[in-house]
């Protein structure tokens, strides 16, 4: 039987397992965590697109010199 607790290392909801007196925390990937990861991925994509655009603009400016 596993117990659910907050992992002291990363603060995420985790399953607590005790094996040979050693307590291990296994993070539970709940829906909320997945949603956050998806949001972060989208934000990174947007950021990448912006950075690429800026790079191109910079190149154009530098070629004008």
Interaction residues for Zn ion, span 19-58 (CB under 5 A):
25
Strand order in the sheet with 22-27: 3-6, 13-19, 22-27
Q: Select from 17-25, 30-38, 39-47, 52-60 the region that touches Zn ion (CB under 5 A).
A: 17-25
4 binds Zn ion (CB under 5 A): no
Contacting residue, 1, 10, 22, 62, with Zn ion by CB under 5 A: 10
> What dihedral angle (degrees, nearest 10) is formed by the CA atoms of 21, 22, 26, 27?
110
Task: At 8, give phi and psi (nearest 5°).
Answer: -70, -20
Give residues in contact with Zn ion (CB under 5 A). 7, 9-10, 25
């Amino acid at each position: 039987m596993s117990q659910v607790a907050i992992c002291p290392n990363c603060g995420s909801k985790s399953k607590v397992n005790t094996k040979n007196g050693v307590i291990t925390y296994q993070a539970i990937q709940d829906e909320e965590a997945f949603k956050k990861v998806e949001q972060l991925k989208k934000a990174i994509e947007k950021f990448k697109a912006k950075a690429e655009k800026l790079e191109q603009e910079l190149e154009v400016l530098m070629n004008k010199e």
